[in-house]
Amino acid sequence: MKRKVLVLASAMTFLSGAAMAQAKLVEKVTKQGSELVIPYEKYVLPNGLTLIIHEDHSDPVVHVDVTYHVGSAREEIGKSGFAHFFEHMLFQGSDNVADEQHFKTVTQAGGTLNGSTNRDRTNYYETVPSNQLEKMLWLESDRMGFFLDAVTQKKFEVQRSTVKNERGQNYDNVPYGLRFETINKNLYPYGHPYSWQTIGYVEDLNRVDVNDLKNFFLRWYGPNNAALTIGGDVKPADVVKLVEKYFGSIPAGPKVEPVKVPAAVLEGNRYVSYVDNYAKLPMFAVAYPTVPDFHKDKAALAALAQIIGQGRNSVLFQQFTKKQLALQAQAFSSLSELSGEFQVVLLPSPGKTLADMEKLYYAALDSFEKRGVTDEDIIKFKGGYESQLINGLQSVAGKASQLAQFQYLTGNPNQIGGQLAAYTSLTKEDVMAAYNKYIKGKGAVVLSIVPKGQEQIIAKADNYTIDTTHYVRPNYGYTGLKYVKGKDNFDRRKMPGNGPNPVVTVPKFWRKDLPNGARVIGTENTEIPTVTLSITVPGGHLLQANNLSKAGLASFFANMMNEDTKNYTAEQISVELQKLGSSVNVSSGTDGITFSVQALKKNIDPVMALLQERLFNPKFTEDAFNRIKKQRLESFKLAKSQPAAVADAVFAKLNYGPNHILGIDEDGTEETIKNMTLKDIENYYNNYMTSQDAKVVIVGDIKEAEILPKLAFLSKLPKKKIELPKVDATPAVSKTTVYMVDVPKSAQSEFRVGYTTPMKYDPTGDYYKAQLANYALGGNFNSRLNLNLREDKGWTYGASSYFTADKYSGTFEFSSGIRADATDSALYEVMKDVKNYLQNGPSDDEVSFMKSAIAQSDARKYETGFQKAAFIGRILDYNLPANYIEQQSKILKSMTKEQIKAVSNKYIQPQKMNVLLVGDKAKIMEGVKKLGYDVVELDVDGNKIDKKVF
């Protein structure tokens, strides 16, 4: 690595927008040889803003990340959730950016955007075509320096409602959703900023007012508490000039000191419990306090978590899952800026109490101590970490985000090489020392989560009461804060235009039909030294179309193909693959079984040998079959406790009918899984493994001439034609009917509205045109449905509509989780929006917006290996012409309002839709009935409760 530290670099600074806002180059890191490094230049502006630039011309895209060093760790008792609330508020416009314009501007530019909040930081980010950089800097600088005057009470109330919906959807309304909240408030001292979740408490959100939020912004969102990281197809000198122009005039905020809090100290186990109304099965969890991120023991704790509770070779898998004592058994280490936790989670098999789980858990730790840490443990851990690190650098977003994270946690973006060194120098002794220091004999929070009516099965009686008497409220300096805007010497009201359009290159690919009947497609990608390969053998879910009693067989078979082989146990294969930093997995789909390989280029040969072992030498054992069968049966019970999962399953049954293969989940049902035998698995392998019409997709650092000889083993497969059963036609919907599934006390109602369409996948026909037509209705954040239900009404965390299609069928669907008390009103609004759109069509502005957004987004379509694989895989799967993207572009350019209206009316018929509502009948039934629809009650399996129609 070559590093230059400069006191001043006047040759690299530019006078522009704000006079004298010159950025100082403080560091430049370049790559030397084969070292692992993300090259960058780092600057600091006079107002304290840190600027990090990573230059990468491999794709015509740029990623912009603004990270503010403020998360829930800057909050206090009674005022939780502020940082996350501000993540929402900062998308609501500023002095020169209108309400909803931020999302609209980025989307219209062909970009993608979001924000996220954790304990320690909030970040906002966009990935856009490289010609849109200046526009992104205008947007981000305007909300950093010109935000507060645009805050209104209405925006505040809508976003407060949206955050409450988010909490309901992700925490309160899902099984085990309060696990981390309960653990953290009992693990950390009262008032410790990690003792609450970033989402905050509803009661705190209820009491906060707009002035509280304004003070929070003034205190923490200044440029001196932020890092702007820009990566991609840029020239650093140009970037510096633009950043000085748009950010240079923004005044610095108050000085920000590091957060200092006492560590969590537990003298013994703290037993706590709660009743979960959504859980069907109990859960046992243990949480130990550990160390902050970048502590010297970070790698040792990560390795310890893997050895104890990650993967087939882990102690917990062997002691619990394989012995069928638990359906799930995991451990993980999670480190943040101020502290960390080591957690264990056990989901017991039926009949086991949580007291049983606790005894078995400590017995498993005893077995770990006897087993110790092996050389093999360390080798596979290092191989996996190296692969993970390298694969994370496929995109400019991945690289820029990594630099931003290093900066806010350490103040030094150049940490990736040091992290790799820390992990690759790890020893067995380091891991065992971490176990003795943080786990063995140490106090922990022991949490019992139990379904209603099973309170007696907790591990032990609660023995801990939170001490609230010693809390001293922090003085963060909110008094006397004043809002001062910067003064520019340019007109900030004018949105910047676009730079020159970037040249978008569709990946070049090669194709080869092999004598054994397999079809191969590949593209070379030398950005990182990896190879991704998939082999899909015809078959899959559709094979059971004429034998629905065994639906789910293909998925079960794929699971069994990941188990033991004749020459290796599944654990041995897992070890070998982890050592190689690679993976081989078998999965099932609608019409095929797929063998997926991800390998470091240097290890491709031994990985391909392990692929062949999986393909040719499966060993279908009774033990594995019984274990997977039991896990599947219990997983169906868990799914029935999740309203969203119930909605998806029942909606498919409504759309396709109860006796249609596509109306049954690819994993099957409780009844079909019970029907399966080990012989069924063996018969699937004997009857449906073939090279004829197999599809092979290859992306990575490998040439056609290198990989084709490595595929010669496919000739060992039988070359036989697999005929899939014909897919039945779907039932027509005669009139719109509401179907209701009762989930008592549900905070939200899951909406699924739509039906099957006659369209199948056709990227240059009606299917593509229908996607374009839906864009303004429900296909993007600024669509009519989302703006109405989320941004205007505040009833949901998000709402969308979409068309889907494959070779066999198509659907149109609206979906959302809606606040329970707004269910009837939301259904009325959905139907109103749909009917208005069909009657009047899109506006000129909506058509222009759609065309710009979709056309510009081409620059982002082919950046990563996964994106390239999806593109060429689609060409192979549907036998598409190589220029189909050009054909789509012509369709997009020529699409008119009248065409959009015609396509919409052809495929969206609100008078003939299935409307499914999964929620609390007691709260929503009366209101829904007043809308005038027939209402039919269903159970969680989609069966009519009776024939009564309301």
Predicted confidence (pLDDT) per residue in 547-596, tens digit: 999 999 999 999 999 999 999 999 999 999 999 999 999 999 999 999 99
**What does the pLDDT look like over 422-435, one tens digit per residue?**
999 999 999 999 99
825 confidence band (pLDDT: 50, 70, 90): very high
Give the pLDDT confidence score for residue 15 in this predicted structure: 35
DSSP 727: P
Residue 308 and residue 377 in contact, taking contact as beta carbons nearer than 8 Å: no
For 742, the enclosing helix (H) or strand (E) is strand 737-742
**What does the pLDDT look like over 766-789, one tens digit per residue?**
999 999 999 999 999 999 999 999
- Asked whether the predicted pLDDT for residue 471 surpasses 60, the reply is yes
Residue 243 and residue 51 in contact, taking contact as beta carbons nearer than 8 Å: yes
Give the pLDDT confidence score for residue 503 in this predicted structure: 81
Q: What Rg value do the Cα atoms of the chain yield, rounded? A: 28
Dihedral angle over CA of 760, 761, 766, 770, nearest 10: 100
Give the pLDDT confidence score for residue 154 in this predicted structure: 87
528 confidence band (pLDDT: 50, 70, 90): confident
Centre a 10 Å sphere on the Cβ of residue 564 and count the other Cβ atoms it contains: 19
Residue type at position 725 = P
Give the pLDDT confidence score for residue 4 in this predicted structure: 40
Among residues of the chain, what percentage have pLDDT more than 90? 83
Helix and strand numbers, DSSP H then E, in the chain: 31, 26
Residue type at position 352 = K
Q: Which tokens is 880 given?
A: 């598409």
Residue the block writes with tokens 């507060």: 148
Residue type at position 5 = V
Looking at the DSSP bridge assignments, the partners of residue 447 are 272, 285
395 Cβ contact list (under 8 Å, min separation 6)? 63, 127, 863, 864
Which has the closest alpha carbon to 514: 695, 720, 703?
Answer: 695
Beta-strand ranges (E) seen in 572-705 are 583-588, 592-600, 695-700
Instruction: Give the architecture-level CATH label for domain 737-949.
Output: 2-Layer Sandwich (3.30)
288 confidence band (pLDDT: 50, 70, 90): very high
Distance CA(100)–CA(182), nearest Å, equals 35
Q: Are strands 50-55 and 226-232 parallel, antiparallel or unpaired?
A: parallel
Least confident of 9-23, 603-617, 666-680, 874-888: 9-23
20 confidence band (pLDDT: 50, 70, 90): low
Residue the block writes with tokens 């003792």: 195
Give the pLDDT confidence score for residue 17 in this predicted structure: 39
Q: Which tokens is 525 given?
A: 């990608």
Looking at the DSSP bridge assignments, the partners of residue 934 are 737
Residues of the chain with CATH 3.30.830.10: 2-247, 270-391+411-457, 510-716, 737-949
499 Cβ contact list (under 8 Å, min separation 6)? 130, 131, 132, 133, 134
Give the pLDDT confidence score for residue 105 in this predicted structure: 95
Give the pLDDT confidence score for residue 948 in this predicted structure: 53
Give the pLDDT confidence score for residue 202 in this predicted structure: 87
Which has the closest alpha carbon to 140: 211, 83, 221?
Answer: 221
Residue the block writes with tokens 């031994």: 606
Q: b/e string for 138-169 if b means 16 or more Cβ within 10 A?
A: bbbbbbbbbbbebbeeebbebbbbbbbbbbbb
388 confidence band (pLDDT: 50, 70, 90): confident
Looking at the DSSP bridge assignments, the partners of residue 587 are 594
Q: Which tokens is 641 given?
A: 């406790």
Task: List Cα–Cα distances, 40 to 11, 37, 404, 407, in angstroms.
Answer: 17, 9, 11, 12
For 906, the enclosing helix (H) or strand (E) is helix 897-907
Q: Which tokens is 156 given?
A: 């505040």
Q: Which tokens is 192 given?
A: 């410790």
Mean pLDDT of all residues in 42-68: 96
Mean pLDDT of all residues in 857-886: 91
Least confident of 85-94, 299-308, 458-467, 700-709: 85-94
Distance CA(142)–CA(245), nearest Å, equals 12
Average pLDDT in the chain: 93
164 confidence band (pLDDT: 50, 70, 90): confident
Mean pLDDT of all residues in 626-631: 94
Least confident of 4-18, 321-335, 607-621, 934-948: 4-18
**What does the pLDDT look like over 124-156, one tens digit per residue?**
999 999 999 999 999 999 999 999 999 888 888
- 3-state class percentages of the chain: helix first, strand second, coil last, to nearest 5: 45, 20, 35
Distance CA(714)–CA(240), nearest Å, equals 54
1 confidence band (pLDDT: 50, 70, 90): very low
Residue 305 and residue 340 in contact, taking contact as beta carbons nearer than 8 Å: no
Q: b/e string for 749-762 if b means 16 or more Cβ within 10 A?
A: bbbbbbbbbebebb
Which fold would CATH assign to domain 510-716?
A: Cytochrome Bc1 Complex; Chain A, domain 1 (3.30.830)
- Measured over the CA atoms of residue 11, residue 12, residue 16 and residue 17, the dihedral's sign is negative
Distance CA(73)–CA(771), nearest Å, equals 42
Looking at the DSSP bridge assignments, the partners of residue 737 are 914, 934
Give the ranges where 280-395 is alpha helix by DSSP (H): 298-309, 315-316, 354-371, 375-391
Residue the block writes with tokens 């004749």: 566
500 confidence band (pLDDT: 50, 70, 90): confident
Distance CA(17)–CA(141), nearest Å, equals 12
Give the pLDDT confidence score for residue 206 in this predicted structure: 87
Which has the closest alpha carbon to 425: 574, 296, 310?
Answer: 296
- Asked whether the predicted pLDDT for residue 14 surpasses 80, the reply is no
Q: Which tokens is 655 given?
A: 């759309």
SS3 311: coil
Q: Which tokens is 113 given?
A: 């955007």
Q: Which tokens is 338 given?
A: 């101020």
Looking at the DSSP bridge assignments, the partners of residue 602 are none
Residue type at position 588 = S
Residue 667 and residue 632 in contact, taking contact as beta carbons nearer than 8 Å: yes
Mean pLDDT of all residues in 793-808: 95
Mean pLDDT of all residues in 303-331: 95
Q: Which tokens is 825 given?
A: 């009103």
Distance CA(16)–CA(162), nearest Å, equals 39
Centre a 10 Å sphere on the Cβ of residue 732 and count the other Cβ atoms it contains: 8
- Asked whether the predicted pLDDT for residue 19 surpasses 60, the reply is no
Mean pLDDT of all residues in 471-482: 91
CATH 3.30.830.10 correct for 270-391+411-457: yes
Q: Which tokens is 118 given?
A: 């954790």
Residue 882 and residue 875 in contact, taking contact as beta carbons nearer than 8 Å: yes
**What does the pLDDT look like over 211-239, one tens digit per residue?**
888 899 999 999 999 999 999 999 999 99
Q: Which tokens is 877 given?
A: 């799967």
947 confidence band (pLDDT: 50, 70, 90): low
Helices 897-907, 766-778: inter-axial angle, 10-degree rounding:
100
Please tell me the CATH superfamily of domain 2-247, with its number.
Metalloenzyme, LuxS/M16 peptidase-like (3.30.830.10)
